[in-house]
């Protein structure tokens, strides 16, 4: 029979060995006891803890976003306050300039009655009274604006304080959240390691149980086989004993066969004893294997007890963490409510500051636009004046050139008339001479050279006259177009002057509004600067006086252009002497009627047909 020897390390390892092997595989060395906290297969972290952790992370993210938003809004408010301060500085400089102008206007108002009547002081006094009323209204509006700005400053300071407190609270909450997050991460790592080790131990336990069952079945089979063999051996021994008690006669009769049987029995007996000894040894080894298996099972039971203890300890630790998370969540909710309150107050103060800054910016933009429009209108007026002057000069030079051309045309016509007279006298003499030389002939003989010469002279004179007529017509058309363009420019300049007066009226209204706001903003200055109220009044009076002077200059410019036009028309009419033309918007149409008949007469007097 064959004997089977079982290896204690083949199929019956311990859970501790498996955990140690797993720990060495991960960490590269012997694992610590604290790094392995096994759990049962069906255990997992509670859903409540996960939900609380998710809520904590979400609230922390929202808190960070709100803090960033509050910082951004704070920077925007600071920039707006800086721009408001710059605007106040600009307004202060404008008020100082206006105060100087108002003092000069007051000096003008304090002049004697005769001087004031000469310089138009009555209108300035009326404007001054109106300005005083406007400044009273401006003072009231300034007080309202000052109260609004002070309230906005208080709200802004309160919102900044609440925002700083919320930042500090959120920083502490974030620190606690970060610590808790680190602890949760470490716990998750340990939980993963323990879960892997637990799965390894469960798998190993199942393998051990399967092997133990297989070994138990095999051991039972072996015991049954040994029992069967022992029964067979006992049967054979009994048979051998009965065979030894046979009659001696039979033994004597068969002496040789009995000796042989005896030897055979001894041999069989020795073989059975050896087999029995081998079966006993095999039974002993099987018992040893069973004892080893029971010892490994005891170790597994001890490890399971340790696992249950660790599980209970982890449950207690998890309950503590749940309570800490609940406390942290309540703190986060309180901080969230405070932060929302601070954000609402900050939003309110921001809206007030935005409204004030928008009003200031709008007034500044309108004032700048009106200044630019005024400058552009003044530039256009200056350009129009320059163009009108240049057009007047060009018109005068064109009239002078036209008069020179007419004089040249008259002289040319006189010279041509004298030439035609001499030519006529010469032709009459020639005709008389030829008539006397040939009285019987009905025809007149003329040399071809003379005929071609006379014909060529007539054609040349006609072409020259046509060219002069075409040039005169082109000159008249160009002069007419330039004069119409000048008239259109004058009309456009007059319309622009009217628009400029309307724009100046609107600008005065906007300047009054801006001065009102400036007066309201001036309350933020020290008490020693209250003199600037009188400065604002003087500035407004000066602005009104400047606007009146500008309107007066515009009216004078318009009248001057009209006077220049009438003066030019009178000069052009006087230059023609006693010739009277019908009234027309163009001078060229008047002169065309006088130039064309002379040219027609000139062409009629030089036709070559009259020479034959």
The closest alpha carbon to 191, from 52, 310, 306, belongs to 310
What values do phi and psi take at 443, rounded to 5? -115, 165
Top pLDDT among 125 and 2 is at 125
Number of H helices, E strands in the chain: 9, 0
Identify the residue whose tokens are 């006693």.
Answer: 578
Query: What is the radius of gyration, based on Cα positions, of the chain?
Result: 66
Conformation bin of residue 514: beta by default, left when phi > 0, alpha when psi is -120 to 50 = alpha
Question: Are 544 and 170 in contact, with CB atoms under 8 Å apart?
Answer: no
Alpha-carbon distances of 24 from 32, 202, 237, 310, rounded to whole Å: 10, 19, 60, 21
| Tens-digit pLDDT profile for residues 92-117 | 666 666 566 656 655 655 555 444 44
Instruction: Give the span between the Cα atoms of 98 and 289, in whole angstroms.
Output: 116
Question: What pTM was computed for the model?
Answer: 0.25
DSSP secondary structure letters along 137-159: HHHHHHHHHHHHHHHHHHHHHHH
Identify the residue whose tokens are 């033994």.
Answer: 251
Instruction: Give the span between the Cα atoms of 433 and 446, in whole angstroms.
Output: 12
Question: Are 38 and 201 in contact, with CB atoms under 8 Å apart?
Answer: yes
| Tens-digit pLDDT profile for residues 225-267 | 877 877 877 787 777 666 665 554 455 455 556 677 777 777 7
Instruction: Give the span between the Cα atoms of 306 and 312, in whole angstroms.
Output: 10
Most confident range (mean pLDDT) of 68-82, 254-268, 285-299 is 285-299
| pLDDT in the model for residue 524 | 47
Instruction: Give the span between the Cα atoms of 4 and 286, in whole angstroms.
Output: 9
- In 3-state terms the chain splits into helix, strand, coil percentages (rounded to 5) of 90, 0, 10
Structure tokens at 316: 């207690």
Mean pLDDT across the chain, nearest whole number? Answer: 67
| pLDDT in the model for residue 567 | 45
Residue 220 CA, distance from chain mean position = 86
| Tens-digit pLDDT profile for residues 415-425 | 878 877 887 78
Burial level of 534, CB count in 10 A (0-12/13-18/19+)?
Answer: middle
Identify the residue whose tokens are 């220049």.
Answer: 564
| pLDDT in the model for residue 26 | 37
The closest alpha carbon to 64, from 156, 162, 173, belongs to 173
| pLDDT in the model for residue 19 | 39
Residue 430 CA, distance from chain mean position = 102
Percent over 70 (pLDDT), the chain: 53
Instruction: Give the span between the Cα atoms of 297 and 294, in whole angstroms.
Output: 5
Instruction: Give the span between the Cα atoms of 607 and 422, in whole angstroms.
Output: 16
Question: Are 166 and 342 in contact, with CB atoms under 8 Å apart?
Answer: yes
Burial level of 77, CB count in 10 A (0-12/13-18/19+)?
Answer: buried
Identify the residue whose tokens are 């023609």.
Answer: 576
């Amino acid at each position: 029979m064959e004997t089977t020897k079982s290896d204690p390390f083949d199929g019956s390892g311990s859970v501790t060995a498996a955990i140690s092997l797993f720990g060495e595989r991960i960490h590269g060395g012997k694992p610590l006891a604290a790094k392995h906290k096994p759990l049962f297969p069906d255990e997992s972290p509670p859903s409540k803890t996960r939900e609380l952790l998710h809520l904590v992370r979400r609230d922390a993210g929202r808190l960070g976003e709100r803090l960033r938003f509050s910082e951004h809004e704070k920077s925007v408010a600071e920039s707006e306050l800086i721009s408001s301060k710059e605007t106040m500085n600009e307004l202060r400089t404008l008020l100082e300039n206006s105060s100087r102008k108002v003092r000069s206007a007051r000096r003008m108002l304090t002049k004697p009655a005769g001087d004031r009547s000469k310089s138009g002081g009555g209108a300035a006094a009326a404007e001054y009274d109106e300005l005083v009323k406007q400044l009273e209204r401006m003072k009231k509006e300034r007080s309202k604006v000052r109260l609004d700005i002070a309230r906005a400053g208080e709200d802004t300071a309160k919102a900044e304080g609440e925002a700083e407190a919320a930042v500090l609270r959120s920083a502490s909450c974030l620190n606690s959240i970060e610590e808790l997050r680190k602890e949760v991460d470490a716990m998750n790592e340990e939980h993963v390691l323990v879960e892997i080790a637990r799965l390894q131990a469960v798998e190993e336990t199942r393998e051990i149980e399967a092997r133990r069952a297989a070994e138990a079945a095999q051991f039972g089979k072996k015991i049954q086989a040994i029992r069967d063999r022992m029964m067979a051996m006992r049967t054979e021994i009994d048979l051998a004993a009965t065979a030894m008690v046979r009659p001696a006669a039979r033994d004597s009769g068969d002496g040789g066969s009995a000796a042989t049987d005896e030897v055979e029995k001894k041999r069989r007996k020795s073989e059975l004893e050896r087999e029995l000894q081998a079966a006993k040894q095999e039974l002993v080894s099987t018992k040893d294997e069973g004892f080893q298996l029971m010892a490994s099972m005891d170790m597994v039971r001890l490890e399971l007890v340790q696992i249950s203890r660790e599980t209970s300890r982890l449950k207690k630790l998890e309950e503590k963490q749940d309570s800490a998370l609940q406390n942290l969540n309540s703190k986060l909710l309180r901080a969230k409510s405070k932060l929302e309150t601070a954000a609402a107050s900050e939003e309110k103060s921001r809206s007030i500051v935005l409204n004030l800054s928008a009003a200031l910016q709008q007034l500044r933009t309108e004032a700048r636009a009106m200044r630019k429009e005024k400058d552009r209108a003044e530039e256009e007026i200056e350009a129009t004046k320059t163009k009108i002057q240049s057009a007047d000069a060009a018109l005068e030079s064109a009239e002078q050139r036209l008069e020179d051309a007419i004089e040249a045309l008259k002289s040319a016509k006189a010279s041509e008339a004298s030439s035609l007279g001499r030519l006529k006298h010469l032709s009459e003499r020639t005709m008389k001479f030829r008539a006397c030389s040939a009285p019987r002939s009905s025809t007149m003989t003329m040399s071809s050279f003379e005929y071609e010469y006379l014909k060529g002279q007539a054609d040349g004179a006609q072409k020259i006259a046509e060219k002069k007529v075409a040039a005169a017509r082109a000159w008249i058309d160009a002069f007419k177009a330039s004069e119409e363009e000048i008239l259109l420019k004058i009309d456009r300049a007059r319309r622009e002057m009217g628009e400029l007066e309307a724009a100046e009226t609107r600008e005065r209204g906007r300047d009054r509004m801006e001065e009102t706001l400036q007066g309201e903003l001036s309350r933020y200055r020290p008490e020693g600067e209250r003199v600037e109220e009188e400065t604002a009044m003087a500035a407004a009076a000066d602005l009104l006086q400047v606007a009146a002077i500008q309107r007066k200059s515009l009216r004078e410019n318009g009248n001057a252009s009209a006077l220049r036009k009438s003066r030019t028309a009178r000069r052009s009419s006087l230059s023609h002497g006693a010739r009277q033309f019908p009234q027309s918007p163009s001078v060229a149409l008047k002169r065309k009627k006088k130039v064309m008949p002379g040219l027609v007469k000139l062409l009629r007097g030089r036709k070559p047909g009259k020479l034959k």
